[in-house]
Amino acid sequence: MRMNKTKIFIICTAVAVLLALVTALFAAIGFTGPVRSVLKTVAKPFEWCGTHIANSVNGFVSVFADYDRLVEDNEALRREVEELKKETQDSTVLREENAWLKEYLQMAGEHADLQLCEARVIARATDNYSTVLTLNRGTAHGVKVNMPVLTSDGVFGYVKEAGLDWCKVVSLIETVSSIGAYTDRTGALGVVQGDVSLRGEGLCLMTYIDKNADLRIGDRVYTSGGEESNYPPDLLIGEIVSIEANDAGLSVKIRPAADVGRTDSVSRLMIVCGYASEE
């Protein structure tokens, strides 16, 4: 189509030029009669046709030029968007790193007597019985089975299994978890353990409490420690949300301070690998 328009344009232009030359020749020799007028009239359609086709060809060429320019502009915008995305991602990572560093330093400052090993979650496995997190620290980093695991908010759980450069952690709402504990207001003693009926609510139980113990909803619960405990003393476990009396004494529901019910939101943890005095 484009070639046909080009041929027509050339023919019309040639005819128009030829007629224009003849008309100019007649004018030069002083011939201004009706023949010259007729030639000019005959030349007008060819001039119009040539001009129209020339404009069409120019417009067609301009479309291609505009298209190439649009492609270049789009590519430049795409590169700019990718750069902005990368900057946003880098900024998000930096904020997360700073937030985690702040949490880690705060915990290390509050428990200067503990050796804390920072660990990152590298895998999650959930079944009907438990939720297990795999961390990127193992025996090569001093990690051992039964070592406590913390967040900046409080106790998360403990190390259930350890390999050379990995370990598996279960939270304190699992039925395999058991921690000696006390309340901050009156010092009432008990044992905090996971309960299958409360696991879905993200809660755990505090049992083996004296039936005459002074307890209130909102009392905070801490690890009691001791020689037979794997947990150091005075680590925050959570707070009392429910108190019930039964034949065995008191059954108290505890809401953990750490968000153990939503392990998908946990990306980093701290393992208590020992005491500063052991260094």
pTM, 2 dp: 0.64
Domain count, the chain: 2
Q: Which structural domain, as residue segments, surrounds residue 179?
A: 114-279
Pair 130, 266 in one domain: yes
174 closest CA partner among 149, 209, 211 = 149
Q: How confident is the model at residue 251 (pLDDT cuts 50, 70, 90)?
A: confident
Pair 265, 144 in one domain: yes
The confidence score (pLDDT) of residue 275 equals 81
Pick from 110, 127, 143: which residue ends a domain? 110
The confidence score (pLDDT) of residue 39 equals 47
Pick from 110, 145, 160: which residue ends a domain? 110
Pair 244, 278 in one domain: yes
Pair 33, 120 in one domain: no
More confident residue, 189 or 8: 189
Pick from 110, 132, 163: which residue ends a domain? 110
The confidence score (pLDDT) of residue 180 equals 94
Pair 149, 126 in one domain: yes
**Side chain identity, residue 265:** S
User: What is the CATH classification number for the domain harbouring 229?
Assistant: 2.40.10.340
- Across all residues in the chain, what is the average pLDDT? 77
The percent of residues above 90 in pLDDT, for the chain, comes to: 32
What confidence tens digit (pLDDT) does each residue in 207-239 have?
989 888 999 999 999 999 888 888 999 999 999
Pair 53, 172 in one domain: no
The 3-state DSSP class for residue 114 equals strand
Pair 124, 255 in one domain: yes
Pair 120, 11 in one domain: no
Alpha helices, H only, 111-157: none
Q: List 243's β-bridge partners, or say none.
A: 252
Pair 60, 180 in one domain: no
